[in-house]
Amino acid sequence: MSWVSILPPLIAIVVVFWRKEVILALLLALISSEFLLAIQNDTSVLSGTFIGSIERVISIATSAGNSRILIFSIVIGALLVYIRESGGVAATVNMLMRRGVARSKRQVGFLTMFTGVAVFIESNMSVLTSGIVARGLFDKFKMSRARLAYIIDSTSAPVCILILLNGWGAYVLGLLSNYELEQSAVSILWGSVAFNFYAIIALALVAYTIITDKVHGPMKQAELELQHQQFEMEAVATATKARFMLVPLLTLIASMIGFMYWTGEGVLANGSGSKSVLYATVLACTVAYLLLLQSKRFEHKELMQLGFKGMGELLPLVSIVLLSLTLGASLKELGTGVFVASVVGDYLPVYFIVPVLFLTGAVMSFTTGTSWGTFAILIPIGVPLIQSLGLPPSLVVGAILSGGIFGDHCSPISDTTAVSALASGCDLLTHVKTQLPYALFGGALSLVAFFVASIVML
């Protein structure tokens, strides 16, 4: 489809920043993508666009993996409202402050980052756990939700792609295992950790923000606005017992690990992230429900009403996740990712290949909203370059993985961005706007690092 295949994601990005309406942007991008597909497939433009858009949504919603993500995104609303209304959030905040774990902004920041690192097994779970733990603490110390969204988003995916003992590692390992190389796929993947410059720099920037308590750009403006306005903490129940928050949260983490082990048939890295996160969330929600019912403070009917209220609060973000997944599938059929990858060209100087793979991965991830889709397209392009030109395998793989994470951090249509906003209680567009300067700075440093590495190693 050539250059026109990039029009749908461009439409989405322009509408997002112009109208500040994400759902409208995703809908228009989806419709335009299906319109181009109708032309490409030589079908009726009117029926192909209208019916195609609806059927695309249906095909995404009926996919088992996608359905799990969507149901998880809804059920988590019930879990969040149970924890909030139980009084467990306020009690946990008070307990952490009494014990000296969270007596300053710096301690709160590191607690949030450490939680994200500890739950390295799945990126959505990392974001979710950190967000639940830190919400009340950030409110207590009058730090913006935009800062919280940045910390958890910029910790989760980088940690998952660096530690690799999870679904991310298994996925990339599976892509690499299709090729015959001098080194084993496992050694190449582990070797790529040292060259995953963007992930390393992103974590360093988060640590810098926490240690110095300094924020820049739109983030600074968000913090200043928070300090100069009448501050209102998120409405939470009066402090009761910390167990109303901690027990469901520990259930969430422990069962996530257990389900990853179970779905992977005894191999943690082979576990299903979508299955495990859904099962763990439903179990944690059930535990929270039973704790509140046992406390005699709520009746069954009240808890059901609370649960549906929490689910309803997240429906706009769930819609964004659904449309993001749908647009990604439509763009894949349209060939957007393949076209973007083709701009790398066949005649680049050898020193430019690795940096351009990084940039291509960033653009693909930014325009499609998926880092995993970027890996799936670029690894089959990068590995043949390793074989034909003798490029360092781990450096090439590191550049592709870095580019995918970088673009995903910048993208307003990424489902990961939506989940981070959901977990932190931050407006989606505010999160995108405040995180972008940090991601761009990290991306620029990474590009320089890949140039230097190419010169040294080639």
- The per-residue pLDDT for range 222-268, each reduced to its tens digit, is 888 776 665 454 555 565 788 888 898 889 888 888 988 898 888 77
384 and 359 Cβ atoms separated by less than 8 Å: no
Per residue in 263-303, pLDDT (tens digit) is: 888 877 677 767 887 898 899 999 999 999 998 888 999 99
Per residue in 124-150, pLDDT (tens digit) is: 767 877 887 788 888 888 899 999 999
Q: Is 116 exposed, middle or buried (0-12, 13-18, 19+ CB in 10 A)?
A: buried
Per residue in 14-36, pLDDT (tens digit) is: 776 677 676 888 889 889 989 99
Per residue in 304-334, pLDDT (tens digit) is: 999 999 899 878 767 877 887 788 788 778 8
What pLDDT, on the 0 to 100 scale, is given for residue 231? 47
Per residue in 91-131, pLDDT (tens digit) is: 776 777 778 777 889 999 998 998 888 767 667 767 877 88
153 and 431 Cβ atoms separated by less than 8 Å: yes
C-alpha triplet 102, 103, 108: angle, nearest 5°? 40
Q: Which of 101, 183, 175 is nearest to 137 (CA)?
A: 101
Domain boundaries, the chain: 66-316
pTM above 0.75, yes or no: no
236 and 89 Cβ atoms separated by less than 8 Å: yes
Residue 206 predicted with pLDDT over 90: yes
Tokens (6 digits) for 87: 């009084």
List for the chain the helix, strand, coil content (%; round to 5): 80, 0, 20
